[in-house]
Structure 1
Amino acid sequence: MADVQPLLSALQVFNGAPDKTSLEGANNWLQDFQHSPEAWATCNVLLLSPDAPAPAKLFAAQTFRTKVTYDLHQVGSEHQLALRDTLLAALQTYHAGPRTIIVQLCLAVAGLALQLPAWENPVQSMIQAFGSNPATVPVLLQFLTILPEELNTNTRIPVIDEDYNERVPKLLTQNVRKVLETLSMYIKATGVTTAIQKEVFTCLRNWLIAGEIPPADLLNTPLFPFAFEALNSDELFDSAIDVLCELIHETQEVDDNIYVIRVLLPRVIDLQSRLETDKDDPEKIRGFARLFSEAGETYRILLVDDPDNWYPLVDAIGKCSAYHDLDIVPITFPFWMRLAQILGKRATIPPYLIRGYEALMTVIIKHLHFPADTSTLTSQEVENFRSFRHVMGDTLKDCCLVLRTEKCLLAAYQMISAALLKGPSGVTWQEIEAPLFSMRSMGAEIKPDDQVAVPKILDLIPQLPSHPRVRYAALLIIARYTEWINFHPNYIQPQLQYISAGFDDSDAEVNAAAGQGLKFLCQDCKQHLAHFLPDLHTFLKTTGPKLIQDDRRQVYEAIGHVISAMPIEPATQSLRTFSLDLLASIHDTTSKTTPTKEEIDQASNALENLEVMLYIIRSFGDDLPEACQASCLEAWTVFENFLLKFGTDYELAERVTRVIRHGISLYGKAGLPVAPSLMERMSQGYDATGISCYIWIGGKITARFGDEKQNVRLQTALRGMYETAAKKSVTLLSLRQPKEMPDVVQDFVQLLLQLVDIVPEIFFDQNIFPSVFGASLAGLTVIHDDTVFATLDLFRTIVTHDCLRDEVTEPEYTKWATLIRGVVRNQGYQLTGYLLSGMIGDFPEDAIQNVVSIFRVITTMFPEEMLQWLSGVLGELPGVSAPNQAKSQFLMDLTDAVNARNYDKVKYSILTFNRVTRKVRDRRRLPV
């Protein structure tokens, strides 16, 4: 036991409440232990020791399973049968439990069976070893249960395809008859317990899932009739349902299994009487719903081709769909969906199935009713019910596919009409809201040429009660039907009136629905709405201030859609009209000496509303009207003054720069006159605050105007931005870790990518470039895919720049090349370290190609230096991710490539190193 004491000490750390450092240390120690060859013997000692604590014994069993999967090569072939005997002896020792240890040992035995051809028939051996003694039968059943699942799902077992394809049939297929005989013997053996019978069913199910048991073979065993008998047992019910569902699934090739189906399906249909007998037991109904729905999905073609014989199955599924427990109802939905997909393509549909979907539609709308008293529900329960209503809405679309949308919509319309006839005192809001919700769900299926159902529905909406839940549902119907309204513009005016009234409602959700209705109406009907813009402008002046910002933003989004569809002259005038109101609000706040928080929030909201309008409109092209061009300077003046006053506030700076970003797209070349001033202000803003959105805009300006080489002031501003961004970013990185300011790192790298591509004469400044190169390394340490990819793109662009080509002779290119080589020589060690540590660490998998490209170029550039750098870098890489053997092999492979000046081999040496270390990382991610 002295040899296992360090292991016990490491495991002891997990008891109690250890600190993070202790946990990580213990976990790493245990991971390393599991890798070691000594673990085999140590874990055997633990398993055999009666005094060892239970967690240690479980860890030992888990380690056997892990090592059989990954490290069987550590055991010589002459000792592998002895390892098998060791595991079987452990199973004998622990045959009474704990079950967790039995499971781990069985997994180990199953993995060993796959890799040990010398073990001729493991299934037969296990039956002989454990099948005769009732006390050890649970071990045998556990092994037989695990075997097919482990062989089919554990892809980490290192067996080549050829050996796998030869070995698996010997382990599974050739033993099917023996397994069925064994399970049949146990299922009704004298003295058998329900626990054993459940394990038999579990084992049988796994072999069915693996596709090893032909359904016809199962039909001829006692297991088949007993599965139906077991439905009368509370203890065996769920297990029997599992087996029957898998058996049905295995007969999905209907033509090949028609004999089995003709025996199986009538027995399933005979169970429908249980829906009445067990109606007060939701768990039983759940099981029958699974069974009937599985049969319906699998045999749906039979239901269509021979509905007279098999319609009772549809009726049984319909009863499950009508059950009051909404956790059970969705079990049936996949059946209705797949059956509808068949029926929707048929010219004629059997009347039985038409009636089935009519009943289903009525049932679903009934399920859509909110409870009479929602106060009895928790907020989470209400949210869950609302989410489930959308799932039920998808099933209503299936009904539309079979019954046709017009018929379904009219049925819902009739429900509302009938409810309204009861009068205000006789009708509940739920009776109206539920059919309205169904109309909204089915609205996705309406045709633009519908002349019957949709007009009736839209004409009905103004007559509905003013209950907020009803108004909310009606407004969302309008939002859903706007594509139809676009083809029938005479309906626009009444819908706008109803939407406008929704903004006056005291209920916030009704306001939000009105905003959504207006947005979609303007989006889909924008060609018809230009003459409504003055009304919308008046609406914003009068009602707009009363709206919450989310609703007001949706109104501006709607306006943006209308403007985007207008001819350029009126469009620019309309945009100017709405924008001036927003700019005036921003200017008013700026001009106040000490604006209140409410006034600042109003300015922030105005910026957001302007942003959403510009985002929708995007651009009018380069041929802007003169008035629009002039407005560029006007708008920038407002923004500049606002930034001078509030630019140190992160949220407000973000708001302004997002608007500026869309302004760059809107004005295009017309924005060039203000670009230098804009770039200068962004530089000053970043220098003063370190807020990254300023250099983000710097990158956007560079991308749009950087190639304007003749604009001296702009080029000077670009250089100033580069100098400021470099200096400030280097300072920030000296004070904080990159992970603490990922936005700064991301936006800095994106700015550099634009500069190196568009203005390399600025980027390759010998006074700035060295520090920029070093600061950019921070991008390789931020755990964010976009940042990593951008940073790798930057370094790849630098080290593969055209100036480094041998045939280049231009003086400027030669100067840049000398600069790049000098910087890479000086900082190559750091770059190499970040590349390799990221590759074996947190880089996304797709980044490996960029790593290879950069690594190969640097190795070609500095082969001897690379070998020196690599020797040190590999020593610093954590052994938990990169084992010493992998490091040594990598260094050897790269040395061979360098000595042979065969730089193509650099790629393969890195890929090999990455593949080996990835396997180690994947293994370490598994729980200890």
Structure 2
Amino acid sequence: MELQIKVAQAVHLLNHDTQSCNRVAANQWLVQFQQSDAAWEVATSILTSDHHQQFDSDYEVEFFAAQILKRKIQSEGYYLQSEAKDALLNALLLAARRFSAGPSKQLLTQICLALSTLLLHAVEHGRPIEKLFYSVQNLQSHEGGHIAVLEMLTVLPEVFEDHITNNCKTLTIRYEYEQQLLLHTPMVIEFLLQQSEKRFGGGVQLADTNKKILRCLLSWVRAGCFSEIPAASLPSHPILNFIFNALQVFSSFDLAIEVLVELMSRNEGLPQALLSRIGFLKEVLLLPALNTGDEKVIAGIACLMSEIGQTAPSLILKASPEALILMDALLSCAAFPGEDWEIADSTLQFWSSLAGCILGHDLSGGGDRKNIQEVFLPAYSALLDALLLRAQSFGQVNDSMFNDDGETIDLPDGLVQFRMNLVELLVDICQLLGSAAFAQKIFLGGWVSFNVQVPWKEVEAKLFALNVVAEVVLKEGANLDFSVLIELVTILSNRTSDDLKGLMLMVYKSVADIISSYSKWISAFLTNGRPLLLFLATGISKPFCSNASSCALRKFCEDACAIMHEPSNLEILIWIGEKLEERHFSLEDEEEVVGAITFVVGSVPNKELKNNLLVRLLSPSYEAIGKLVSV
């Protein structure tokens, strides 16, 4: 008893004393104690004795005792004699019963980890799971006993995996252990179903029991023990019915989704079974959540439906009524105007995977092509509208995201990540619809006009999308009307420097990106390069737009060389070069600007004019060169 009190005092000092030297001393003493033989008896007594210490931290002492036993069993369990193992087994069963009805799940988990590890050591050549059921069957007759059994079943696959990894040196032994789990899976399923059919109280207690069953189920699924359920029995399997019932309970919704997603990754027949219930998921769960704005349910259903499609895209390609319901539901999720972009983002991989299947599908048959045109292309057209809407969700972009000079923009991480993930899908959509149809969607609505208020949020998002698909558009040779871009250049050039901040600065940068990506086509479209040059010159002076504008300047100078030889354009280029020293460019941006100017000047056919331009361009460097020579 004296040693037990010392342990309690040391635990109290370790967790609550304000003096660091006392905490260090307590920790050192406890480390030495748990390495001693006396630790077995003291830790067991703490967990099984009804005696309470004088501290308010009984739970901390009990938790420490459970951890001691777990660690000592892991490291020294093989050396325990048979009688000692049996005594410890009975003590742990008593502790599990004692703490199963308590408020501390973590303590019960530690006890069950110790108990499961001991069973592996106690029956090295027997059947641990059978031994487990035999040892704990008396627990079920006690109040809260089913909770202890659930917890032990939950931790058992984890303990099994650790034991196999650390101790099974041959594939044969590993296989035998894994087969024990598979062999007893039906027994576990039967036990879980029995628990799900019972009613242990109501309200919070019932919800907590459901979550424990789901956690146990998830543990066994991750161990690969549910992969052999016959596909034909899946749609009406009692376990699936229980999970779907759990989906309708708010407190167990997330766990139920996690179990279904994990099951799908391990059972090829499950996507078809879930697809047969897609109407239920949409009508009973998704639509009410969309109406009320319940983002938890929307996010969960979006994740689940996306996984169904990704796991078995061939089912979606058949364009069955269930597949169409799933696609329509995911369109609703992608368009949902949530506070962040996670819900829309979670659907992107589904649409990308499906697009990849469509693009790689054999379209030689008329029926296949008809399905593509009548089902999938309209769906992807609607998806593009939804994604452009979500990509322009700047309602949350406010002044706090810009620094004092308005030229540094700190966008929400969710939006930045969403746009990064969106790139591949936008390219897929452009390939599916064709670049001409894609561009038509981008320019639809006449969103640039001098006479009306320009919807700058929409413009910026559409410019982002157009820039992303530039490679596809250029390859397919779609005929774009760049007059819209020139109108934007004119409108933005007429803005004062004070106006070019925040969202307007983002639009400015997006226009520069478009000029860079489509410079060859723009140069063929233009007859006067002066407005574009002045636009880029202003952009270079803005830190946020500097890189995009300098890159666009170089590409435009290379692709529109003939236009750049006009005297007024050469004057602008030299003026830009003369101002380089006054601006603090990054090395990369300076290289782009200097490269653009030297390319144009170097290609001027008139040698005298070329020499004069070079003298003007290099004159600011003469003084510095002279100083270097004099040294």
* TM-score past 0.5 threshold: yes
User: Following superposition of structure 1 onto structure 2, how do residues 146-161 of structure 1 map, counting pairs within 5 Å?
Assistant: 146-152=155-161, 157-161=166-170
Could you say what secondary structure the match of 2:188 adopts? helix
Q: Distance in 2 between matches of 1:277 and 1:515?
A: 47
Aligned residue among 184, 201, 217 for 2:214 = 201
Q: 1:143 to 1:320 in 2, by over 3 A?
A: same
Could you say what secondary structure the match of 1:387 adopts? helix
Decide whether the 8 Å contact of 2:523 with 2:556 is kept in 1. no
Note the residue ranges of structure 2 that are not aligned, 5 or more in a row. Answer: 364-368, 403-408
Q: Is 2:442 the counterpart of 1:412? A: yes
When structure 1 is superposed on structure 2, of 316-325 and 30-39 the one drifting more is 30-39
Q: Summarize deviations over 1:784-842 as a string: whole Å, max 9, x none.
A: xxxxxxxxxxxxxxxxxxxxxxxxxxxxxxxxxxxxxxxxxxxxxxxxxxxxxxxxxxx
Give the Å deviation of 1:174: 0.9
Give the Å deviation of 1:119: 5.2
Q: Distance in 2 between matches of 1:88 and 1:483?
A: 70
Query: Which residue pairs with 2:426 in the alignment?
Result: 396
Q: Is 2:548 the counterpart of 1:516? A: yes
Q: 1:561 to 1:464 in 2, by over 3 A?
A: closer
Q: Which amino acid aligns with 2:344?
A: V
Q: Summarize deviations over 1:171-223 as a string: whole Å, max 9, x none.
A: 41111111111111111224452321221122223222322113436655433
Q: Which amino acid aligns with 1:522?
A: R
Q: Which amino acid aligns with 2:193?
A: S
Q: 1:206 to 1:521 in 2, by over 3 A?
A: farther
Aligned residue among 151, 160, 176 for 2:185 = 176
User: Following superposition of structure 1 onto structure 2, how do residues 451-530 of structure 1 map, counting pairs within 5 Å?
Assistant: 451-453=478-480, 455=482, 458-459=485-486, 461-465=488-492, 466=495, 468=500, 469-470=503-504, 472-479=506-513, 482=516, 484-485=518-519, 490=524, 497-498=531-532, 500-504=534-538, 510-519=542-551, 521-522=553-554
Could you say what secondary structure the match of 1:512 adopts? coil
Q: Which amino acid aligns with 1:414?
A: L
Decide whether the 8 Å contact of 2:97 with 2:142 is kept in 1. no
Q: Which amino acid aligns with 2:374?
A: P
Q: Is 2:152 the counterpart of 1:143? A: yes
Q: Which amino acid aligns with 2:258?
A: D
User: Following superposition of structure 1 onto structure 2, how do residues 683-832 of structure 1 map, counting pairs within 5 Å?
Assistant: none
Q: Distance in 1 between matches of 2:455 and 2:271?
A: 48
Q: Distance in 2 between matches of 1:420 and 1:528?
A: 25
Q: Which amino acid aligns with 1:184?
A: L
Q: Which amino acid aligns with 1:434?
A: A
Q: Summarize deviations over 1:853-894 as a string: whole Å, max 9, x none.
A: xxxxxxxxxxxxxxxxxxxxxxxxxxxxxxxxxxxxxxxxxx
Give the Å deviation of 1:537: 4.7
Give the Å deviation of 1:516: 2.5
Q: 1:159 to 1:561 in 2, by over 3 A?
A: farther
Aligned residue among 341, 344, 358 for 2:359 = 344
Q: 1:211 to 1:385 in 2, by over 3 A?
A: closer
Give the Å deviation of 1:165: 1.4
User: Following superposition of structure 1 onto structure 2, how do residues 340-379 of structure 1 map, counting pairs within 5 Å?
Assistant: 340-346=355-361, 347=363, 348=369, 349-371=372-394, 374-375=397-398
Decide whether the 8 Å contact of 2:577 with 2:617 is kept in 1. no
Q: Summarize deviations over 1:691-720 as a string: whole Å, max 9, x none.
A: xxxxxxxxxxxxxxxxxxxxxxxxxxxxxx
Q: Which has the larger radius of gyration?
A: 1
Q: Distance in 2 between matches of 1:576 and 1:209?
A: 73
Give the Å deviation of 1:47: 2.4
The number of residue pairs the alignment matches comes to 578
Q: 1:42 to 1:447 in 2, by over 3 A?
A: farther
User: Following superposition of structure 1 onto structure 2, how do residues 295-334 of structure 1 map, counting pairs within 5 Å?
Assistant: 295-307=308-320, 310-325=323-338, 326-334=341-349
Note the residue ranges of structure 1 that are not aligned, 5 or more in a row. Answer: 589-633, 639-928
Aligned residue among 249, 256, 270 for 2:280 = 270
Could you say what secondary structure the match of 1:172 adopts? helix
Aligned residue among 578, 588, 608 for 1:541 = 578
Q: Distance in 1 between matches of 2:165 and 2:435?
A: 51
Q: Is 2:96 the counterpart of 1:66? A: no
Decide whether the 8 Å contact of 1:95 with 1:102 is kept in 2. yes
Give the Å deviation of 1:344: 2.2
Identity of aligned residues (%): 21
Decide whether the 8 Å contact of 1:114 with 1:168 is kept in 2. no
Q: 1:267 to 1:54 in 2, by over 3 A?
A: same
Aligned residue among 531, 542, 559 for 2:594 = 559
Decide whether the 8 Å contact of 1:202 with 1:239 is kept in 2. yes
Could you say what secondary structure the match of 2:160 adopts? helix
Give the Å deviation of 1:58: 0.9
When structure 1 is superposed on structure 2, of 491-500 and 267-276 the one drifting more is 491-500
Q: Distance in 1 between matches of 2:601 and 2:110?
A: 70
Query: Which residue pairs with 2:197 in the alignment?
Result: 188
Give the Å deviation of 1:550: 4.5
Q: 1:566 to 1:140 in 2, by over 3 A?
A: farther
Decide whether the 8 Å contact of 1:145 with 1:203 is kept in 2. yes
Q: Distance in 1 between matches of 2:572 and 2:462?
A: 33
Q: Distance in 2 between matches of 1:107 and 1:28?
A: 25
Could you say what secondary structure the match of 2:545 adopts? helix
Q: Distance in 1 between matches of 2:484 and 2:169?
A: 64
Q: Distance in 2 between matches of 1:543 and 1:185?
A: 78
Decide whether the 8 Å contact of 2:509 with 2:549 is kept in 1. yes
Q: Which amino acid aligns with 1:384?
A: D
Q: Distance in 2 between matches of 1:566 and 1:70?
A: 78
When structure 1 is superposed on structure 2, of 467-476 and 529-538 the one drifting more is 529-538
Query: Which residue pairs with 2:477 in the alignment?
Result: 450
Q: Summarize deviations over 1:46-85 as a string: whole Å, max 9, x none.
A: 3234334321211221232333334434535774444433
Q: Distance in 1 between matches of 2:513 and 2:281?
A: 45
Q: Distance in 2 between matches of 1:20 and 1:486?
A: 69
Q: Distance in 2 between matches of 1:162 and 1:544?
A: 70
Give the Å deviation of 1:343: 1.6
Decide whether the 8 Å contact of 2:574 with 2:613 is kept in 1. no
Q: Distance in 2 between matches of 1:126 and 1:267?
A: 40
Q: Distance in 2 between matches of 1:476 and 1:47?
A: 66
Q: Distance in 2 between matches of 1:77 and 1:404?
A: 74
Give the Å deviation of 1:511: 4.4
Q: Summarize deviations over 1:421-447 as a string: whole Å, max 9, x none.
A: 5x5444432232222222233336443
Q: Distance in 1 between matches of 2:396 and 2:186?
A: 58
Could you say what secondary structure the match of 2:392 adopts? coil
Q: Distance in 2 between matches of 1:539 and 1:376?
A: 31
Give the Å deviation of 1:361: 0.6
When structure 1 is superposed on structure 2, of 294-303 and 164-173 the one drifting more is 164-173
Query: Which residue pairs with 1:675 in the alignment?
Result: none
Decide whether the 8 Å contact of 2:515 with 2:522 is kept in 1. no
Q: 1:378 to 1:84 in 2, by over 3 A?
A: farther
Q: Which amino acid aligns with 2:432?
A: V
Could you say what secondary structure the match of 1:342 adopts? helix
